[in-house]
Amino acid sequence: MNTKIHGIFTPHIVPLQANGEIDEPELRRYVDWLIEKGVHGLYPNGSTGEFTRFTAEERRRVVKVVCEQAAGRVPVLAGAAEANVRETLIACETYAGYGARAVAIVSPFYYKLCPESVYAYFREIALNSPIDVTLYNIPMFASPIDVPTIKRLAEFERVVGIKDSSGDVAFMMRMMSAVRPLRPDFVFLTGWDAVLVPMLLIGCDGGTNATCGVVPELTRKMYDLTRSGQIAEAMQLQFRLLELFDAMLYSADFPEGFRAAVELRGFKVGRSRQPQTDKQQIDYFALQNVLRCILSDFGYVDAPAGGCPPRTGDIDQDRVSHIAATVLETLRQRGVI
């Protein structure tokens, strides 16, 4: 029998080659690194993995590579949403065959569906999937899954949990209150790194956190500290993680900031499939400089040659602009632009 899903799963980015194709060797190297750093599981085809920017074939290849490379060392939660229920079910079967522990299926997007339609969609999947299903609620991008709908869906044995990226602590508690009397084993994972420790404290089983793909050591430590009751220490790290998270999240369109940070950890991520203007590429380097400063405080990377400004505990909005100007000047001097 399958063990209950728990811990910090990594919704990882997908490295790309110069020609835009998936960089499979680098993806494998990245998976190894994440596992060595202590992640509890892997989560290909998440929002961080830009699943919508790949073809159906490519999404399958990503899961295949990750399952192969993980090779049972950690469980794989595979994003399986496709264009419609039939295609999604084919992906479920395929990923079951690859050895995934479960699939994660985002609520229907583009169209904003009413709760009854969201229920009908997941019900159809729950009745036919050969593999455990976790619901994926991300109201900023997809049709929201509300509490009554979650409660109704928890009646299906195949639905084993939910990943919620709303970041709303009260909403998470409402889900728990609604579902746990019926399904004490139901798994609650938070996708909002900014409140990982508070979410664990209120009873979450773990998280699927993009930040984990950047600083897996840190998120693992936060998880372990919280579990062992060292809350003050855990919260101290949470405040520091928040600075990193906000810098990655709000300085560029998601998930570009996370890709910039993974690159600093020593991986070739390549250019995004979403085109960028020259201005955005300059911003990218400027952001990396900021991220390098934050990461160097943790000792994960070396500080930039020019040094870092003193930390005041909050993200200085002017800092990015300042460094952007510096980078721009440097690029000009070198004749790059």
- Tell me which residues in 290-319 interact with a copy of itself (CB under 8 A): 312-314, 317
Q: In the bound complex, what is the minimum distance in angstroms from residue 157's beta carbon to a copy of itself?
A: 19
Stretch that binds a copy of itself, among 6-14, 188-196, 217-225, 260-268 (CB under 8 A): 188-196
User: Which residues on neighbouring strands pair with residue 106, listed in sequence order?
Assistant: 136
Residue entry with tokens 């889900």: 175
Quickly list H helices, the chain.
24-36, 56-70, 85-98, 115-128, 147-153, 169-179, 196-202, 216-227, 231-250, 256-264, 278-298, 317-333
Residue 136 is a catalytic residue: yes
- Determine, following the binding rule CB under 8 A, whether residue 111 of this chain makes contact with a copy of itself: yes
Q: Which of 30, 98, 121, 136 is catalytic?
A: 136
Please, are residues 99 and 130 in contact by the beta-carbon 8 Å criterion? Answer: no
Residue entry with tokens 């602590």: 169
Using the minimum distance from each CB to a copy of itself, give the nearer residue, 183 or 220.
183
- Parallel, antiparallel, or unpaired: how do β-strands 7-10 and 206-208 relate? parallel
**Separation between Cα atoms, residue 39 and residue 70, nearest integer Å:** 11
Using the minimum distance from each CB to a copy of itself, give the nearer residue, 109 or 330.
109
Please, are residues 264 and 299 in contact by the beta-carbon 8 Å criterion? Answer: no
User: Which residues on neighbouring strands pair with residue 9, listed in sequence order?
Assistant: 41, 208
- Determine, following the binding rule CB under 8 A, whether residue 90 of this chain makes contact with a copy of itself: no
- Determine, following the binding rule CB under 8 A, whether residue 230 of this chain makes contact with a copy of itself: no
Please, are residues 48 and 258 in contact by the beta-carbon 8 Å criterion? Answer: yes
Residue 268 is a catalytic residue: no
Stretch that binds a copy of itself, among 206-214, 236-244, 289-297, 299-307 (CB under 8 A): 236-244
Using the minimum distance from each CB to a copy of itself, give the nearer residue, 73 or 227.
227
Q: In the bound complex, what is the minimum distance in angstroms from residue 245's beta carbon to a copy of itself?
A: 9
Conformational region of residue 307, where left means phi above 0, alpha means psi within -120 to 50, and beta covers everything else: left
- Determine, following the binding rule CB under 8 A, whether residue 185 of this chain makes contact with a copy of itself: no
Using the minimum distance from each CB to a copy of itself, give the nearer residue, 56 or 71.
56
Is omega for the bond preceding 75 within 30 degrees of 0, making it cis?
A: no
Using the minimum distance from each CB to a copy of itself, give the nearer residue, 33 or 156.
156
Using the minimum distance from each CB to a copy of itself, give the nearer residue, 4 or 273.
273
**Separation between Cα atoms, residue 81 and residue 42, nearest integer Å:** 17
Q: Which of 163, 268, 279, 284 is catalytic?
A: 163
Site for a copy of itself in 9-38 (CB under 8 A): 20
**Separation between Cα atoms, residue 276 and residue 41, nearest integer Å:** 31
Q: Which of 2, 68, 97, 140 binds a copy of itself (CB under 8 A)?
A: 140
Q: In the bound complex, what is the minimum distance in angstroms from residue 73's beta carbon to a copy of itself?
A: 30
Using the minimum distance from each CB to a copy of itself, give the nearer residue, 68 or 253.
253
Exposure on the CB side of residue 302, measured as CA atoms within 13 A: 4
Site string for a copy of itself, 44-83 (x = CB under 8 A): ---x----xxxxx--------------------------x
Backbone angles phi, psi at 82, to 5 degrees: -125, -170
**Separation between Cα atoms, residue 241 and residue 282, nearest integer Å:** 25
- Determine, following the binding rule CB under 8 A, whether residue 202 of this chain makes contact with a copy of itself: yes
Q: Which of 170, 305, 307, 333 binds a copy of itself (CB under 8 A)?
A: 170
Catalytic residue list: 136, 163
